[in-house]
Chains A and B, each alone.
Chain A
Amino acid sequence: MTNVGDSDRLLGLLTEGREEFTGQWVRSVTSTLAGRLPAAEVQQDLHELYPALLDALRSGGLATRDESYGEVRSLLTELSRNRARQGFSPTETAFSVLSLKDVLEPALTAGEDVRAYLQLARVLDDLGLYTIEVHAKTREEIISAQAEQLLELSTPVVKLWEGVVGVPLVGTLDSARTQVVMEKLLQSLLDLNATHAIVDITGVPAVDTQVAQHLLKTVVAARMMGAECVISGIRPQIAQTIVALGIEFGDITTKATLADALRHALDRIEARGPVEIGGLL
């Protein structure tokens, strides 16, 4: 249980030196960020944070996990998120909070002020850790958003001919990516009324059992929808790995190059003849 009375001295100090401390705080933070963030922005952030911190100390004492720190936390969340997006390190972000300690230090006079300083240090350490946490979380979000964008970028489905679609796969295939490729490919079969699909793996560095499994599933799914799927771009090394691993490609058509696969698809389309439904009805 925190006794609110305990932090009276600290609160007094902070309220008294309000203008001075805020000014010094802004200068201290701006100098560590080495001009990479406009002083005006730092000033705005800290001028909001300081009174919020005072309010929180007044009503909640030193219990930073308390509801009274809600405002401080939401300001810090925003600050940390912005810093993370702007590319500042976790240290630089946490310093925005921790540097208030250095600002207060010269103002200490009597021995009893040490206690107030320690109290402030405790509060700021907590809040500093909180900014690091938010910073890390924001970076994580950015990374996963980028991974998703990459996923979208790297799997275009292209129409190669009337009734033939192709997917040039580039890079490593994992299950998340394969699911996206499969979905896109299968949807394009419907959208483009394509009876043939070619998955070109020229740009895939390695085929292991799992990748082969994914490719097989794609082919089977396409077949169930009523389309034929050919795998092309199998380089000699990959053919060797496939045989060495004992992967069964079953009755799936594979071709060495995309050109071969396209020729194969066009031959098949020609052999089937045009879709004429009039005579049957």
Chain B
Amino acid sequence: MSERVPILKIGDVLLVSIQFDLEDQMVMDLQEDLSQRIVDTGAHGVVIDISALEIVDSFVGRMLASTAAISRVLGAETVVVGMRPAVAMTLVELGLSLGGVRTALNLEQGIGELRRSRRNGPVPR
């Protein structure tokens, strides 16, 4: 399985838009690729758009949480954007609250969120 989720760079923000149901291997590849890209580009922010995802199970949920933690260590703030209502309700029932992950309604709000967090003090390196 060599299919990988593309990571786009806009300014100092990396944008990951997950457009289809991911196999577990792709989820793990994405996490690896993203860490590498943060180091390579010196990006300060990561936006992960999950608006196309119809489900987020504990595996993907855990990936989002650990990606946020890894990025923070590498000096980039992560915002997860576009979670669908049904997905949010399911995650609550599943017992996953994604504590420690910043979220925003959509891409625009997400980038605004990153901008605010930079203005209010840079992420400690």
Contact = CB atoms under 8 A, between A and B. Distances in A.
A273 B10 contact: no
Nearest to B111: A277
B85 A275 contact: no
B122 interface: no
B104 A224 contact: no
Cβ-closest 3 pairs across A and B: A186-B85, A275-B112, A226-B104
Interface stretch (B23-31, B67-75, B89-97): B89-97
Contacts of A217: 89, 92-93
Interface string A233-276: 00000000000000000000000000000000000000011011
B115 interface: yes
Contacts of A63: none
17 contacts: A183-B86, A183-B89, A186-B89, A189-B105, A193-B105, A224-B98, A224-B103, A225-B103, A226-B104, A226-B105, A226-B113, A273-B116, A280-B11, A280-B12, A280-B13, A280-B45, A280-B115
A223 interface: yes
B56 to A, nearest CB: 9
A281 B11 CA distance: 5
A179 B109 CA distance: 26
A275 B104 CA distance: 12
Q: Is the interface of A mostly helix, strand, loop or mixed?
A: helix
A190 B97 contact: no
Interface of B: 10-13, 45, 80-81, 83, 85-86, 88-89, 91-93, 97-98, 103-106, 108-116, 118
A226 B89 contact: no
Contacts of A279: 115
A37 interface: no
A226 B83 contact: yes
Contact of A221 (B91, B111, B118): B91
A194 B105 CA distance: 8
Contact of A222 (B13, B88, B93, B98): B88
A221 B105 contact: no
B105 A227 contact: yes
Contacts of B112: 272, 275-277
Chain A, interface size: which category? 20 to 34
B108 A226 contact: no
Q: With a 10 A CB-CB cut-off, give which of A194, A221, A281 has the most chain B CB atoms.
A: A221
Q: With a 10 A CB-CB cut-off, give which of B88, B115, B118 has the most chain A CB atoms.
A: B88
B105 A225 contact: yes
Given A272-B112, A280-B45, 16 more contacts: A183-B89, A186-B89, A190-B106, A221-B89, A224-B83, A224-B88, A224-B92, A226-B104, A226-B105, A272-B116, A275-B109, A276-B115, A280-B13, A280-B115, A280-B118, A281-B10
B115 A186 contact: no
A277 B112 CA distance: 6
Contacts of B109: 193, 195, 226, 275
Contacts of A179: 89
A266 B97 CA distance: 26
Nearest to A190: B105
Contacts of A273: 116
Contacts of B98: 224
Nearest to B103: A226
Given A186-B89, A190-B85, A280 B114 contact: yes
Interface in A190-212: 190, 193-195
